[in-house]
Amino acid sequence: MTFSLVALASLSAISALTIRRMRRPKFVPVELSAVRFFLDEPPSESRRQWVLCPPQWRDRSYLMQMAALVLLLLAAGLQELTAPIDTALRVDIYVDGSGSMQTTQDGRTRSEMALEVLRQTLDKIEATEAASREVRVSTFDLDVDERVEPTSDLSGLRPHLEDVVRSRLLGTDLSALQRFLSRRPLNDSAWWPTHVVVISDQPAPKWSQESQRGSVQWLGVAKPVASHGITRIEPVRHPLSGGLVNLRVHVQARGKQPLEETTLTVSTGSAEPRMESFPVAWDGAGYARFDLARSRVFQAASGEPLRLELSGRDAWPADNRATVLLPDQTSVAVRWQVPGATVPDLPGWSTEEYPQVTGRNGEPPPLPRLVVTDFAGCGEFPESIPLLVVGHPDGSPGPAPNGADDWFLCSVFDDSPFLRDVNLDALEGTPEMKPLAAETLLLSLGQSDRPLTDVHVALAAFRGSSYETLQVALASLSAGGGRGPIVWMPLLPDFQELPINPETASDSDRQAAASRLAWQAVFLNSVSWLLSRDESPLFGLTDREHPEPNYEQAPFRLPLHPGEGDTSGESNTRAVFDPAVRIEREEPGMWWQLPVLLALVLLTVERVLALTTIRSERGLVP
Amino acid sequence: MSGLGSLIPLPLPLSDADLERFRLRLDRRAATVPAGELLMRKRGQSLEFREYDAYVPGDDVRFVDWRLSLSRGAPWEFWKKSFDTEEALRIVVTVDQSPTMDGVEGSGKRLIAAWLAEALGRIALLGKDRVVLHRLAAEAATRDAGEPVDDSGEQGVERWSGMSTEIRNQQAGGKIRDWLCESDSLSCGDGGSQADGLQAISRCLQPGAVWLIVSDFFCPPRCSELLAGCVTMATQRRCTVAVLELDSWPWERSLIVDRSCRMVGPGVDPQRHDLRFDVDDALLRRVETRIAQNRDVFFDRVRLGAVRSRWSWPVVKKLDHASMFRDWFTNDPVIAAVLMAGGSR
């Protein structure tokens, strides 16, 4: 640090001196006997100007100043050079502890191979001549754990290596390792490493070779081995209703060995277990995909887990099985606000009472079920099921559902999901629509200071059975515990065909048709919105808090971290520690050579120009 | 005195043997010419009778030839005898003592001129000739930069001043250099004449005399014209005129190594003149042209009858004045012409 200041100050002084010298008015006195013959020449202005080749050997003050500064720089630099050389050996070792290190390779796991490489590294360290030898061992997966404090007792460390280096079914986050290395202080630290060693089955990232302080020694332990597994599980929703209808499972085979005959077994239910096997048809790239129809595969009751398992043993079996929990997004409960109301006939929609299972095996209903309950206050059903409240057509919302403290009307806007595909323009001309909508909006918002929550929503349409006008408003429930989403409607729409002859239809007929279509769209949007509210994931991933996979009880945790099961890669780096590859400590004074070199070049150029000028002007050179 | 003073005490770089060699050349010249060649037909007081002349009142009565006067019969008419006389060679050395001859420290123009005068004087005295030393200085009016040169020749603006002295015996030869360098500025010494320096020299230029002019010819044009007129008059008197130009400009030019210079020198007041230049080749060429034009003011007028030579200072880092002088003195045609002047006449 001291030299940095000296070098900076000296370089600045040299530059300032040279610039001042080049900028000075250099009217050097010259005595001539023929001076009177210069009288007729117009004198030059006394101005400062840039002159590239000012002379001059006789300008000794400038030369001495420059020489003093250069000598100062050299002295400071030599002091740095003559500083004692650090011959100690401090090795910082990072061992991959992710799930892929459990891959079996040549009869051993990669963790065992990493352990062997670690022992070889310790042997190398002990065999290297150094003033002192210290080792720090850390593991990394999704983050970095420092397992062994810096120690010089290598013999005492060896028996504990197996406990230190262990693999867990977690993912590998090399960016976390990079961040850790960049944050770990190397300077002004009591223990800064001379070597950084990483033992992993992952290919060496680019940053490991681009460190300004020297390359990280990346010791690879991976070879391509055959393995297959589940890579991704994702839900497929119904495009109209938004309900989950399919489960898409991606499987992939990796490695150079030929693929064996593999089957995917799907089982559901615990009380009445069902199991079905599907042969895996690999494509040329070793990829296969299964779309498991919900109606066909999961006939278990809501909340039952679905278990998937690939047959066969491979190098990394952790991705061969999975257990997922499918949300019950196939039913919408309908609560009737008026006793004795008649459920209208909704073609294609099942209206069997909850909790009876609707639909037959192999013949899934094209649309979600409408599980109709009795009028208000009657019947019990899980609050997690989406609820469609059908109120009286007099416009009142009726009594609040179970678990709701209050509810009231508010407005929705054109960009509301409930009004998607609703042709509001077709309803223009209905005089009562806009005033009513505006009045409802103002009253509801003006009288309520409760926050609106998007999971407690009601939808209202009004003006008689002909739907001459469409009033769309939201009603909000106050927070009522764990209740699921709710939509309130005055009546279910009529899906009966309403023939209209465009040539003979009156305006009222046209408005009735438009209102019916609009109301049907609002109904479908409401159901879709209700079913898409539950976006809970199918499964969770193992993490540092829960490193062990859980296939039995919800919440399920699987070791399906992206890229973790890819066993096709081969390490592209050496597997032996090299003591000669050292990490250079960032010494603030080591850049002294640059200012010294600049100063010398500057001085040399100035001197050469001066000499050339003198010889040329004296006629000593042509 | 300026730095030149350190050069003045330097002794003449020619040995007595060298001077004797030149004296022998002078003697050989005298021996080879017919007798009486050097005789100047003047009425003098030698014992060789020349003619009779009519006596006029005021003549020395001791030279009246009484016998002849009585035999001619007329009582009021007297005849006197006149005799021939032989006059020795007279060498007049005019040394320009203008401030420009001081020049730059180390140029040694004034020293070279002093050495030359001393050498010629001592050689002449060895041959029993007479030496007249003449110090001449141009007085130029100072003027502002850019102001055109005044060639009107107004009195008091550009003129010559100087003084002369004649050295007759050999013992006084060693004082030549001292006399030439006794003062920076001209002043009237004992036995010298002041006022217009050219008037003083014109009295010395008798027929047959040899006149050597040593100058750098940096004098103002008006002074050059006056000097040229005097030279023309001398040639008409059958004097041998030789001109030696001391040209130190090539060496002084090499001193301008800085691109930006402030020129100082004799005759220019630095308080009045701001001579700061960004020197380039064009500027130096213009100055050289101006120097040549100034020199040609003199030489264009004295082309006939004048022997001319130029001693140019070499472009070297350190001048060896003694070596330079020896080389010039022994090889220069002007010096040979001066020493052979009697023989060629």
For the segment A440-477, what is each residue's pLDDT rounded down to a tens digit? Answer: 333 333 334 433 333 333 343 433 333 333 444 444 44
Residue A95's pLDDT is 92
With CB atoms and an 8 Å threshold, state whether B258 touches A26.
yes
Q: Which two tokens stand for residue A491?
A: 């009546």
Mutate to test the interface with B, among A32, A56, A614 (most CBs of B within 10 A): A32
d(CA A215, CA A196): 8
Q: Report d(CA B134, CA B121) in Å as an integer.
A: 12
pLDDT of A557 above 60: yes
Report the C-alpha gap between A526 and A240 in whole angstroms: 11
Torsion over CA of B326, B330, B332 and B335, rounded to 10 degrees? Answer: 110
Asked if A278 and A264 touch (Cβ cutoff 8 Å), the reply is yes
Does the structure show a pLDDT above 60 at B175? yes
Quote the pLDDT of residue B204.
77
Within its chain, how far is the Cα of B5 from the centroid? Answer: 21
pLDDT score for B287: 93
Considering only CA atoms, give the Rg of chain B. Answer: 24
Q: Which of B123, B121, B144, B147 is nearest to B134 (CA)?
A: B121
Task: Give pLDDT, residue B335.
Answer: 84
Q: State ipTM.
A: 0.75
* pLDDT score for A93: 92
Tell me how far apart the alpha carbons of residues B112 and A140 are, in angstroms, rounded to a whole number.
95
**With 80 as the cut, is the pLDDT of residue A140 above it?**
yes
Give the model's confidence band at A572: pLDDT under 50 very low, under 70 low, under 90 confident, else very high: confident
Percent of chain B with pLDDT over 70: 70
Alpha-helical segments (H) within A29-109: 60-81
Residue B324, pLDDT score: 92
Mean pLDDT of chain A: 71
Query: Given the DSSP bridges, would you call strands B159-167 and B130-139 parallel, antiparallel or unpaired?
Result: antiparallel
Whether A560 shows a pLDDT value over 60: the answer reads yes
pLDDT band at B306 (very low <50, low <70, confident <90, very high): low
Q: State the pairing for strand pair A557-558/A540-541.
A: parallel
Question: How confident is the model over A602-619, as pLDDT tens digits?
Answer: 777 777 776 666 555 444
The beta strands (E) that lie in chain B are given as: 42-54, 79-85, 90-96, 130-139, 159-167, 210-215, 240-247, 260-264, 276-278, 306-312
DSSP H or E stretch at residue A335:
strand A331-336
> Is the CB of residue A323 less than 8 Å from the CB of residue A558?
yes
Task: Give the integer Cα–Cα distance in Å for B92 and B109.
Answer: 19
Confidence class for position B90, pLDDT limits 50, 70, 90? confident
A chain contacts of residue B263, beta-carbon cutoff 8 Å: 30, 32, 35, 38
Strands A473-477 and A540-541, sheet pairing: unpaired
Highest mean pLDDT among A60-64, A410-414, A544-548, B37-41: A544-548
Residue A409 has pLDDT above 70, yes or no: no
- Token pair belonging to B170: 């050999």
Cα(A439)–Cα(B6) distance, integer angstroms: 119
Dig out the tokens for A12 from the structure. 């600045």
Beta bridge partners of residue B83, listed in sequence order: B44
Q: Which residues contact B343 (CB under 8 A, 6 or more apart)?
A: B29, B30, B32, B33
CB B239, CB B209: distance < 8 Å: yes
* pLDDT greater than 90 at residue B289: yes
Q: Give A613's contacts in chain B (Cβ within 8 Å).
A: 257, 259
Tokens at A581, concatenated: 């590859």
Contact A534, A484 (CB under 8 A): yes
User: Binning pLDDT at 50, 70 and 90, where does residue B29 land?
Assistant: very low
- Amino acid A68 reads A
Instruction: Tell me what pLDDT residue B123 has.
Output: 84
Helices (H) and strands (E) in chain A, counts: 10, 24
Q: pLDDT digits over A313-342, tens only?
A: 788 888 899 998 876 656 677 766 666 656
Q: Which residue has the higher pLDDT, A24 or A421?
A: A421
CA dihedral for A546, A551, A557, A562, sign (positive or negative): positive
Q: State the average pLDDT over residues A384-393.
A: 67
**With an 8 Å Cβ cutoff, are B262 and A27 in contact?**
yes
pLDDT at A531 over 50: yes
Residue B249: closest CA among B225, B278, B217: B217
Please give the Cα distance from A429 to B262 (Å, whole number).
Answer: 100
From the CB of residue A433, how many other CB atoms can be counted at a distance below 10 Å?
20
* Count helices and strands in chain B by DSSP H and E runs: 12, 10
Using a CB-CB cut-off of 8 Å, the residues of chain B touching A29 are 261-262, 264
Task: State pLDDT tens for residues B62-78.
Answer: 888 888 888 876 777 88
Q: What is the pTM of this model?
A: 0.46
Query: Which chain A residue has its CA at the smallest distance from B269's CA?
Result: A36
Task: Provide φ and ψ at A406, rounded to 5°.
Answer: -160, 160
Contact of B259 with chain A, judged by CB distance below 8 Å, is answered with yes
Which chain A residue is nearest to residue B260, measuring alpha carbons? A27
In this complex, do B294 and A37 lie within 8 Å of one another by their Cβ atoms?
yes
Residue A366 has pLDDT above 60, yes or no: no
pLDDT of residue A367: 52
pLDDT score of A250: 92
Long-range residue pairs from A353-360, CB within 8 A, at least 24 positions apart, any chain: A354/A379, A354/A381, A354/A385, A355/A381, A357/A299, A357/A301, A359/A295
pLDDT at A440: 36
Decide: helix, strand or coil at residue A315.
coil
How close A17 comes to chain B (CA, Å)?
19
Interface contact B259-A618, CB threshold 8 A: no
CA distance B64 to A334: 182
For A471-514, how does the pLDDT look when each residue is reduced to its tens digit (9 = 90+)? 444 444 444 445 566 776 766 776 666 666 767 777 777 766 77
Distance from CA of B315 to the nearest CA of A (A): 8
- Please check whether residue A143 touches B, CB under 8 A: no
Q: Is the pLDDT of residue B342 over 60?
A: no
The Cβ of residue A19 has, within 10 Å, a number of other Cβ atoms equal to: 11
Tell me the average pLDDT across A354-366: 39
Instruction: Summarize pLDDT for B187-232 with one digit per residue, the tens.
Output: 333 333 334 667 777 777 877 788 889 999 988 888 888 888 888 8
Under a CB-based contact definition with an 8 Å cutoff, are residues B49 and B83 in contact? yes
Give residue-wise pLDDT tens across range A188-247.
566 778 888 999 998 888 888 776 556 788 888 888 888 889 999 988 776 656 666 678
- The per-residue pLDDT of chain B, averaged, comes to 73
Task: Please say if the pLDDT value at position B145 is more than 60.
Answer: no
Residue of B248, B252, B260 with shortest CB distance to A44: B260
Residue A25's nearest CA partner among A7, A50, A6 is A50
Q: Which residues of chain B lie closer than 8 angstroms to A43, CB-CB?
A: 145, 274-277
User: What's the pLDDT at A368?
Assistant: 55
B51, B82 Cβ separation under 8 angstroms: yes
CA-to-CA dists, residue A420 to A425, A513, B111, angstroms = 13, 18, 116
Residue A32 structure tokens: 């001539």
Q: Percentage of chain A surpassing pLDDT 70?
A: 56
Instruction: Name every residue whose Cβ is closer than 8 Å to that of residue A73 and which is 6 or more positions away in sequence.
Output: A6, A7, A10, A11, A592, A595, A596, A599
